[in-house]
A and B are shown apart, each in its own frame.
Chain A
Amino acid sequence: MLKPRSWPLWLIFLIVVTVPILIGYVWLLLSSFNDRVHGLTPAGDWGLSNWRFLWENVGRRPSIWTVMLNTLLFAGGVSVTVVIVSAMAAYAVSRLSFPGRSWFLGLILVLHAFPAVSLLIASYYVLVVLGLFDSLLGVILVMTSFMMPLGIWLLKGFFDSLSWEMEMAALVDGASRWRIFWRIAMPLVSPGLFAVGIFTFLVAWGEFILPYTFIVSGRTWTFSIYLNSMIGDFEMADYGLLGAVGLFYMLPAVAVFFFGQRYLLTMYSGGSKG
């Protein structure tokens, strides 16, 4: 353990290492409200012109509000689906014995470690065959399947910590397995459900490669595609605009993190007791 009196030294060290990141955010903030920025020094006029994307379409891109709605649908859809499906899977893995259970558990671990990018082409074919290419639903399904292994493992830990006796009591009281799952087990692992839900939402909110690969038309763009379209197009990158959009993109994620951090903490500390 660190002795209390060595804390100030460590604090200074941590602040020094954090400064570059902080400078990044300061630059983002300054450049979004100014025409031109030299380093950290504003060189142009203050104004909201970089934020014009809020009330008009920039270039040939879709409205930011469509993009916002798409991203919310995408992240929310992934989050809800991952929570519900992996909760059922985690309960089964934690509580029921079925053939191939340990094999299944091992497989989940392997899948979790598997780089999703290497499955892009296979996923593309699956989506095309299903007629879900270039649709939000299609990307939601792909993203969900990539996020599920983690969700199952985390929630299995939460279900494992529930007492068997409670389940036996419910069984004797006349509850079916399905009912025990919904009425007893699910409420008791709700901190875990929130944690997995919020975590998945945040990851999906920031996800780029899947939407970028599987979505083509502007009406289904998500934020990360929108941002990407602003750099490396045929036009020169407008850094002021880029900064403003970036900040706007961050806001929901920051809000979700702010309200959800106490659930995220339970995710790392494992189980729950009522």
Chain B
Amino acid sequence: MTEPVHKGVSVSLQGLAKNFGQVEALKPLDLDIRSGELVAFLGPSGCGKTTTLLLIAGIYKASAGGIRFDGAPVNDLHPSKRDIGMVFQSYALYPHLSLFENIAFPLRLRRVPRDQLKARVSKAAEQLQIGEVLHRRPGQVSGGQQQRAALARALVKEPRMLLLDEPLSNLDAQVRLQARSEIRRLQQELGITSILVTHDQAEALAMADRIAVFRAGELLQFAPPEDLYRSPADAFVAQFVGNPPMNLFHGSVSGGVFRADGLETAVPASWPEGPGSLGIRPEDIRIVPSAHEATVSTMLQVMEPLGRDYLLNCAMEEGFVQALTADRADASVGDTIHLRFAPDKLQLFAEDGRRIEP
């Protein structure tokens, strides 16, 4: 079971768009997914990520543009002919059938011979460790087992692509972490091209080879997790990816200095003059002993010990600043503390949200 069983398909979206009446659910989108890759579609609800997934599955018809699998157009191909396995947020198991019959359903529709069917269902169930509960109905097993059964049903056809629509969001926190790494392991073992739709940035960062961030029907950025985190293309991506989110301050650059309410810091000379937003990740802020080395001096309002680190919430004239640091320098709530932003980690976003390249 170590070598890839299924050859994953490559997917190419060209100008793909979807309207529901007057509503533009998905603006024209270009995206290339490589064979065997796990891509996450990340964004808040209503951002177009699920629409894109259902377009790829063929459940929605595209309003414009094309979809190609391994270079061949599939726009007019029925969902069942696209050779995909799909897992839904609600798992969408058939409640009146046993788990065995649920997993066997796609095979029965393909008229797979009885002995072969049994072997394939058993194998899929073994892979997902639900062999013992196959005779039960979905309502009689745990959420985690339902999720595995849904995954087994998607994989039993040995599809060329796996589409996962928020498959983990109905699970308890602990089971979710376990399921995360299990899906990832299985996906890599099988070498199956996969798309994961999620609104959970941590899930996307942990599982995906590349992440596509959507907002309001638009693809903002498509990049590997590290790039997305280090160089977000957009202020929205910067705040959406990473927890705690990036701090953003509205102000302006003049003469090599960025100024916002109560905040002043030298910035690279290459930054353009004028209004913009300064971004800094919480972990790139540290406490310094004196005001003159500090970027900002502020009052410590809330301190959350997270184990190794402390999350500090400090009041600003407008809003707040969050810092993540292992060294709290004996500060306690109510103290005025001095924070220094690491100068090489500062990011500037233009008025329209676009990041300005340093």
Residues of the A chain whose Cβ atoms lie less than 8 Å from the Cβ of B292:
none
* A175 and B109 form a contact (CB under 8 A): yes
Residues of A within 8 A of B (CB): 163, 165-166, 168-175, 179, 184, 187-188, 273-274
Residues of the B chain whose Cβ atoms lie less than 8 Å from the Cβ of A274:
95-96, 137-139
* B96 and A168 form a contact (CB under 8 A): no
Q: How far is the CB of B108 from chain A (nearest CB, A)?
A: 9
In angstroms, Cα B137 to Cα A175, docked, is 21
* A168 and B94 form a contact (CB under 8 A): no
Q: Among the interface residues B54, B85, B95, B139, which one has the most CB atoms of the partner chain A within 10 A?
A: B95
In angstroms, Cα B351 to Cα A161, docked, is 46
Residues of the A chain whose Cβ atoms lie less than 8 Å from the Cβ of B95:
188, 273-274
- The prevalent SS among residues of A at the interface is helix
- Specify which of A165, A172, A175, A187 is in contact with B96 (CB 8 Å cutoff): A187
* B109 and A174 form a contact (CB under 8 A): yes
A-B contacts, 12 of them at CB < 8 A, read: A165-B88, A165-B90, A165-B92, A169-B86, A170-B94, A172-B79, A172-B84, A173-B157, A174-B80, A174-B106, A174-B110, A184-B94
Q: How far is the CB of A273 from chain B (nearest CB, A)?
A: 7
Does residue B105 face the partner (Cβ distance < 8 Å to A)?
A: yes
Does residue B153 face the partner (Cβ distance < 8 Å to A)?
A: yes
Residues of the A chain whose Cβ atoms lie less than 8 Å from the Cβ of B84:
172
Q: If A163-B92, A174-B80, A187-B96 touch, does A168 touch B106 (CB 8 Å cutoff)?
A: no
In angstroms, Cα B105 to Cα A172, docked, is 11
* A168 and B86 form a contact (CB under 8 A): yes
Which chain B residues in 105-121 approach chain A with CB under 8 Å? 105-106, 109-110
- Specify which of A166, A171, A179, A187 is in contact with B59 (CB 8 Å cutoff): A171
Q: How far is the CB of A189 from chain B (nearest CB, A)?
A: 10
Find the B residue at minimum CB distance from A274: B95
In angstroms, Cα B88 to Cα A6, docked, is 51
In angstroms, Cα B96 to Cα A166, docked, is 12
Q: If A171-B80, A172-B84 touch, does A163 touch B110 (CB 8 Å cutoff)?
A: no
Residues of the A chain whose Cβ atoms lie less than 8 Å from the Cβ of B94:
166, 170, 184, 188
Residues of the A chain whose Cβ atoms lie less than 8 Å from the Cβ of B165:
165
In angstroms, Cα B54 to Cα A33, docked, is 70
Find the A residue at minimum CB distance from B86: A172
Q: Among the interface residues B54, B59, B92, B137, which one has the most CB atoms of the partner chain A within 10 A?
A: B92
In angstroms, Cα B50 to Cα A165, docked, is 12
Find the B residue at minimum CB distance from A171: B79
Residues of the B chain whose Cβ atoms lie less than 8 Å from the Cβ of A166:
90, 92-94
